[in-house]
Chains A and B, each alone.
Chain A
Amino acid sequence: MGKLFMKGNEAIAAAAIRAGLRFFAGYPITPSSEILEYLPLHLPDSGGIFIQAASEIEAIHMVYGATAAGARAMTASSSPGMSLKMEGISYLACAQLPCVVVDIMRGGPGLGGIQPAQSDYFQIVKGGGHGDYRLIVLAPSTVQEAADFTFLAFDLADKYRNPVVLLGDGVLGQIMEQVVFPENYKPISVDKSWTLTGAKKDREPNKIVPFTLDAYELERINLSLQAKYHLIKQQEARYEAVGMDMRDEYGPYAPNLVIVAYGVCGRIAKTVIDLARQENIDVKLFRPITLWPFPYKELRSIAEINPTARFLVVEMSAGQMVEDVRLAISNDKRVNFYGRMGGIVPTPEEILEEIKKLRDGVKYD
């Protein structure tokens, strides 16, 4: 098929259709609305159902029903809409229902702004809904990754019977870049005997019930969720390390200044590396791709291999992922933070200034 030139939001929608999306319900919200709008044009042609729901809440619960009935289901929203969906997400997690939720983050809190932000890390990664649950969270930084991770999201959702969030931001949703879709994608094959299809005589009725009045039973449900999350943590952490040797033994050189950033900040960091090189400053990048499971082990090993490395966490927030970086490295002094809020995207130049402060030992956090 070749290279297409697409807006991030549209690439996600197009990828979802190619990944076998069969049901989408959503509500318009800037900066994610293009996902919603792409689908009524293209989803019915591939046999899927599209509904513009009357609210974000109605949409997530339609998804809950559709996936319970066995369909690959998705919704898309942005920060305030995600807040509305949190009860539904908690239900999806407890009922162990696969689905993909796309979150194109914008400035908050409140109605906030429509420009990009990364201020929902806590909300999405640590759980904005109630209860002990986890979502698999994928953080693309290019339109190509947004497309690729959409396929991955559906497969991981099915593999683990878990909601998966594709966490982008307004930059990713709106920019237009080249994207190539895979030619021979086949969805992962999983057991669907638990879905609601009508209890014919050949099986016991299926009850999808994220609820029990018996505390011991609820503890059992929670223990089985925790066992699943443990497995996911062991198997699905993903990251990109730029300029660092991630072999077990010592690399040829040890990282000294490491930016830790995800999504659009991860991509801006690559420009910072280039700018820094022109001034003979050696900067590396550790870019988490799964925010949950967070790649603690790999980040910790970088910190251990080079005890003098200093880390600059860059986020479009007041500092949320930085807490996980501090947890990984267990040495506060080495972790520093730079962030912009309100929808402002930091420039490579201003990040480089912060890197220089880090290099010069000026602690400013």
Chain B
Amino acid sequence: MTDKVVLKRPAILDNLPFSFCPGCHHSTTHKLIAEVLEELKIENKTIGVVGVGCCAVSYKFFKLDFINAAHGRAMAVATGIKRVQPDKIVFTYQGDGDLAAIGLLETIHTANRGENITVIFINNAIYGMTGGQMAPTTLIGQKTTTTPKGKTASEGDPLRMCELLNTLKAPAYIHRVSLVSPGEIVRAKKVIDTAFRCQIENKGFSFVEVVSNCPTNWKMTPLDSLNYINVEMKKYFPPKKFRSPYNNKGG
């Protein structure tokens, strides 16, 4: 009886082991993106733009053309690339500081112009790479190194980026997902697939917010971090399809 391969590492994920922390959702998301790009057969014309943060090293893991943008500027960089090479697939991969703090201008205006790019937003309510400071999406009461007694409203309520961008006319696809269970991971992959389809079919700006974890800086085990997402994060960041040019179920 011959073996049948039912699952394997996507070819465009390089052989480099991930440097992300154990249990980090960056690893899962990278895998989903790689699988989607391969299944859509667009890996030969995809260009990635990474922000600054834990995502900054992502360029190493994909066998794709990649560029590192300055902190917050990934969407501006992606706009420059896409406008000059409109037949290529351009996506950004950014964290909550990159996209919702320093990069908020670029985020709003790129979405508002309806630039035909795909944005993958890793929202883990904290700044991971720099050691656990508050993010614009940090929850009220959440302890971080810059909110050691717990974040208060005077530091700002968590920004809900999907809801914010949903007030704009131009964006084509806005969807929030999380990855706390195999079912959610399968759903998230469909959402990422749909987001890239949006771009392939020139439907406009596609945005996927991935509610993620940071076990290291949340000071939790990976399993507890999944629970934290389920119980606390989803209250503020409910996984939801906000808008889509398609009627497909789940995507």
List the interface of chain A (C-beta within 8 A of B). Answer: 22-23, 25, 49, 51, 53-55, 57-59, 61-71, 73, 87-88, 91, 95, 196-201, 205-211, 213
B29 CB–A CB distance under 8 Å: no
Whether A62 and B63, one on each chain, are in contact in the complex, defined by CB atoms closer than 8 angstroms, is no
On chain A, the residues within 8 Å of B85 by CB distance are 69-70, 196-198
On chain B, the residues within 8 Å of A73 by CB distance are 80, 84
Mostly helix, strand, loop or mixed at chain B's interface?
Answer: helix
Whether A58 and B109, one on each chain, are in contact in the complex, defined by CB atoms closer than 8 angstroms, is yes
On chain A, the residues within 8 Å of B80 by CB distance are 23, 25, 61-69, 73
Q: Do A57 and B81 form a contact, CB below 8 Å, given A198-B46, A199-B64, A208-B66?
A: no
On chain B, the residues within 8 Å of A53 by CB distance are 76, 109
Q: Do A22 and B46 form a contact, CB below 8 Å, given A65-B78, A210-B68?
A: no
CB distance from A187 to the nearest CB of B (A): 16
Cβ contacts B54-83/A at 8 Å (1 or 0 each): 001101101111111110010011111111
How far apart are the CA atoms of A209 and B80 in the complex, in Å?
16
How far apart are the CA atoms of A113 and B65 in the complex, in Å?
43
CB distance from B59 to the nearest CB of A (A): 6
On chain B, the residues within 8 Å of A206 by CB distance are 65-66
Q: Which of B57, B60, B77 contacts A62 (CB 8 A)?
A: B77
Whether A62 and B76, one on each chain, are in contact in the complex, defined by CB atoms closer than 8 angstroms, is yes
CB distance from B142 to the nearest CB of A (A): 28
B44 CB–A CB distance under 8 Å: yes
Whether B66 and A207, one on each chain, are in contact in the complex, defined by CB atoms closer than 8 angstroms, is yes
Q: Do A65 and B56 form a contact, CB below 8 Å, given A49-B83, A196-B67?
A: no
B45 CB–A CB distance under 8 Å: yes
The chain B residue with its CB closest to the CB of A201 is B44
Whether B44 and A54, one on each chain, are in contact in the complex, defined by CB atoms closer than 8 angstroms, is no
B197 CB–A CB distance under 8 Å: no
B180 CB–A CB distance under 8 Å: no
Whether B84 and A209, one on each chain, are in contact in the complex, defined by CB atoms closer than 8 angstroms, is no
Whether A88 and B64, one on each chain, are in contact in the complex, defined by CB atoms closer than 8 angstroms, is no
Whether B70 and A207, one on each chain, are in contact in the complex, defined by CB atoms closer than 8 angstroms, is no
On chain B, the residues within 8 Å of A210 by CB distance are 68
Q: Which of A22, A58, A208 contacts B76 (CB 8 A)?
A: A58
How far apart are the CA atoms of A82 and B80 in the complex, in Å?
19
A-B contact pairs, 27 of them (CB 8 A): A25-B80, A54-B106, A58-B105, A58-B109, A64-B69, A64-B73, A65-B67, A65-B69, A65-B82, A66-B80, A66-B81, A67-B80, A69-B84, A69-B85, A73-B84, A87-B70, A196-B67, A198-B64, A198-B65, A199-B63, A199-B65, A200-B44, A201-B44, A205-B62, A205-B63, A207-B65, A207-B66
How far apart are the CA atoms of A198 and B47 in the complex, in Å?
6
How far apart are the CA atoms of A129 and B59 in the complex, in Å?
24
The B28-64 residues at the A interface (CB cut-off 8 A) are: 43-47, 49, 56-57, 59-60, 62-64
B88 CB–A CB distance under 8 Å: yes
On chain B, the residues within 8 Å of A199 by CB distance are 43-44, 63-65
Whether A22 and B84, one on each chain, are in contact in the complex, defined by CB atoms closer than 8 angstroms, is yes
How far apart are the CA atoms of A167 and B70 in the complex, in Å?
24
| Highest count of chain A CB atoms <10 Å: which of B56, B83, B89, B109 | B83
Whether B67 and A208, one on each chain, are in contact in the complex, defined by CB atoms closer than 8 angstroms, is yes
Q: Do A68 and B68 form a contact, CB below 8 Å, given A54-B109, A197-B88, A198-B44?
A: no
| Highest count of chain B CB atoms <10 Å: which of A61, A197, A209 | A61
The chain A residue with its CB closest to the CB of B14 is A205
Whether B73 and A57, one on each chain, are in contact in the complex, defined by CB atoms closer than 8 angstroms, is yes
Knowing that A55-B105, A201-B44 touch, tell me 4 more A-B residue pairs with CB under 8 angstroms: A62-B77, A67-B80, A73-B84, A209-B68
How far apart are the CA atoms of A55 and B105 in the complex, in Å?
8
Q: Which of B65, B79, B83, B105 contacts A196 (CB 8 A)?
A: B65
On chain B, the residues within 8 Å of A49 by CB distance are 83-84
CB distance from A263 to the nearest CB of B (A): 30
On chain B, the residues within 8 Å of A201 by CB distance are 44
Whether A61 and B67, one on each chain, are in contact in the complex, defined by CB atoms closer than 8 angstroms, is no
CB distance from A69 to the nearest CB of B (A): 4
On chain B, the residues within 8 Å of A209 by CB distance are 59, 66-68
Whether B67 and A207, one on each chain, are in contact in the complex, defined by CB atoms closer than 8 angstroms, is yes
On chain B, the residues within 8 Å of A87 by CB distance are 70
How far apart are the CA atoms of A61 and B102 in the complex, in Å?
14
Sorted from nearest, which 4 A-B pairs have the closest CB atoms? A65-B80, A198-B45, A66-B80, A65-B77
On chain A, the residues within 8 Å of B88 by CB distance are 69, 197-198
The chain A residue with its CB closest to the CB of B44 is A200
CB distance from B70 to the nearest CB of A (A): 5
How far apart are the CA atoms of A87 and B72 in the complex, in Å?
12
CB distance from B40 to the nearest CB of A (A): 13
How far apart are the CA atoms of A58 and B84 in the complex, in Å?
16
Q: Do A68 and B77 form a contact, CB below 8 Å, given A23-B83, A58-B105, A87-B70?
A: yes
On chain A, the residues within 8 Å of B63 by CB distance are 199, 205
The chain A residue with its CB closest to the CB of B47 is A196
How far apart are the CA atoms of A209 and B62 in the complex, in Å?
14
Whether A207 and B59, one on each chain, are in contact in the complex, defined by CB atoms closer than 8 angstroms, is yes
Whether A205 and B64, one on each chain, are in contact in the complex, defined by CB atoms closer than 8 angstroms, is yes
Whether A58 and B73, one on each chain, are in contact in the complex, defined by CB atoms closer than 8 angstroms, is yes
On chain B, the residues within 8 Å of A69 by CB distance are 47, 80-81, 84-85, 88
